[in-house]
Amino acid sequence: MANKIIQEEEKMRNETDEIKEGDLIGEVEFEIDKDAFKGPFKCCGTETEKIKKKISIKGIGLSYDSWICHKCKREYLDNEQAKRLEKIWVVEKILNEKLISVEKNVNFDGKTFFVRFPVEMTKNWHRGLHADIKYLSPDEFFVKIKS
């Protein structure tokens, strides 16, 4: 069964690799349903089932939901859970220190502590932005800049 699926996928890949620009007739318009990326999904002629997935990063347990096909064991993410998994990956990068890092002095203006961001990191910023600050510990914060 698995071999048949692999053969069908290879056949489809080969067919699409052979399409040339001259084969295209014109533009096609289509509309994607607003719920197109919400589960459950169809796979192998049946609906997928929602399951809870867990990831452990440096001893911290994080979870997200996934949709699984019990026939082929393929897993799908809906739009909301895909965004959640991307955030988990950001946390993983932070904990594994695989991000661009800049060390800056913490300044104090007499009543408030603040940190200045280097201009190279703020080229696309503009006035009116807001900072969403998540408290992680007394000396760790997660900051997201929003419009």
pTM over 0.95: no
CA distance 127 to 116: 15
pLDDT tens, residue order, the chain (147 aa):
555 565 566 655 555 567 777 777 777 777 766 766 777 888 888 888 888 988 887 777 888 888 888 889 888 888 888 888 888 888 788 777 777 778 899 999 999 999 999 988 899 899 999 999 988 888 888 888 998
- Tokens encoding 144: 């997201």
Query: What is 65-78 written as a DSSP string?
Result: EEEE-TTT--EE--
The pLDDT of residue 54:
87
Residues 6+ apart with CB under 8 A from 114: 106, 107, 108
CA distance 78 to 39: 6
CA distance 23 to 3: 31
Round the CA-based radius of gyration of the chain to a whole number and report it: 23
Residues 6+ apart with CB under 8 A from 71: 43, 44, 46
- The answer to whether residues 54 and 85 touch, using CB atoms and an 8 Å cutoff, is no
The pLDDT of residue 110:
94
- The answer to whether residues 146 and 129 touch, using CB atoms and an 8 Å cutoff, is yes
Strand, helix or coil at 111?
A: coil
DSSP-derived secondary structure letter, 121: G
